[in-house]
Amino acid sequence: MWFVLALIALAGACALLYFDRSRRDQTGRVRQIWAKAQGYTYDNVEEKLPGQFHRAALAKQEYLSAIDVVKGERRGESFILFDLEETATIVAVRRRVGSDVDIDLRLKSTPPPKDSDLELLGAIGPRVVFATDLEIARRVCDQRMVAFTESVPPHVNMLWSEGEWTLGSLPIGSSGREWDSAIEAVARLSGILHVLPPVTEPRGLDRGHHDPSRPRLREGAPAEARPERPTSPRPPAPGAPRQQTSGAPRPPAPGAPRQQTSGAPRPPAPGAPRPPAPGAPRP
């Protein structure tokens, strides 16, 4: 009896796996045909793609692979569409300039994000807005944002931004028409988010004219704390008169007449008559 029930359960599990595999293959073929018709590129799987994103539907999903990946261009910006295995279909549009401010727009029926840096701004139309900087998010959420949130198709349940990416999610098993509308919605939001302040890069020290033999000072150190560089005497310009420096006398140049110095008399040269001694009779 139990053996028969186990066989029936095993047969049912095999049948479900077969139908699921068949449905996945069919979805992959449909998406490949759709991508080819639109002039996009298609890949079966990219394992590291989900690890580039960390918010909303892609929070803590690095262990999953991206399946049926489509890459193309819409509204002059690159986009990626892929399935996060059996979790969701993701659309990601890349902006030319990234931002440190991230914004999350989701339906009111969707649970709030678990990111600690996202704060609640309020409701705009049928969606709720969260942001990492509420002051900047208030300026972004103008009349264009209100009109946009009211025109987003309902199957795009979450929209958010991460750095230079604007993303949206929709349920698994969506059709080609829903993919098109989702890409269009995410691309429109990406255009609105161009007003976000760009990424601020840390100010680095000027390393172009630094002497490696001298210690590098910290930025903001007082000028008097900087060690002085020793100066070396510059060679005189060609044709300029040379100045006599104090110290030992310089030797005469070869061929120059020697000057008589005061002090003891010089001895006579060999063979020259000696002068008479004092008090001796003259001849």
Q: Which tens digits make up the pLDDT trace of 74-90?
A: 878 899 999 998 889 99
Q: Where are the domains of the chain?
A: 41-195
Residue 105 has pLDDT above 70, yes or no: yes
Closest CA to 185 of 174, 205, 170: 170
- Write down the pLDDT at residue 63: 83
Distance separating alpha carbons of residues 139 and 142, to the nearest angstrom: 6
Residue 257 has pLDDT above 80, yes or no: no
C-alpha to C-alpha distances, 58 to 30, 54, 130, 208, nearest whole angstrom: 24, 5, 16, 42
Residue 261 has pLDDT above 80, yes or no: no
Average pLDDT over residues 109-123: 94
Q: Which residues have C-beta within 8 Å of that of residue 55, sequence separation ≥ 6?
A: 102, 104, 113, 115, 118, 160, 162, 167
Average pLDDT over residues 186-193: 95
- Write down the pLDDT at residue 74: 82
Average pLDDT over residues 98-103: 95
* pLDDT tens string 121-180: 999 999 999 999 999 999 999 999 999 999 999 999 999 999 999 999 999 989 999 999
CB 169 within 8 A of CB 61: no
- Write down the pLDDT at residue 256: 54
Distance separating alpha carbons of residues 120 and 190, to the nearest angstrom: 20
Average pLDDT over residues 39-56: 94
Closest CA to 102 of 157, 175, 166, 189: 166
* pLDDT tens string 240-253: 555 555 555 565 55
Closest CA to 190 of 136, 148, 155, 156: 148
Distance separating alpha carbons of residues 157 and 171, to the nearest angstrom: 8
Most confident of the following: 10-24, 153-167, 227-241: 153-167
Distance separating alpha carbons of residues 197 and 25, to the nearest angstrom: 43
- Write down the pLDDT at residue 22: 47
Q: Which residues have C-beta within 8 Å of that of residue 19, sequence separation ≥ 6?
A: none
Average pLDDT over residues 214-237: 52
Q: Average pLDDT, whole number, for the chain? A: 78
**Top-confidence residue, 133 or 237:** 133
- Helices vs strands, H then E, count in the chain: 4, 9
Distance separating alpha carbons of residues 124 and 121, to the nearest angstrom: 9
Average pLDDT over residues 15-43: 74
Instruction: Please give the order of strands across the beta sheet that includes 127-131.
Output: 41-46, 66-74, 77-84, 89-94, 165-170, 158-162, 103-107, 127-131, 119-124
Strand segments, DSSP code E, in the chain are: 41-46, 66-74, 77-84, 89-94, 103-107, 119-124, 127-131, 158-162, 165-170
Residue 215 has pLDDT above 80, yes or no: no
Residue 275 has pLDDT above 70, yes or no: no
Phi, psi of 278 (to 5 degrees): -65, 130
Q: Are strands 119-124 and 103-107 parallel, antiparallel or unpaired?
A: unpaired
Closest CA to 196 of 164, 169, 227: 164
Indicate the SS3 state at residue 9: helix
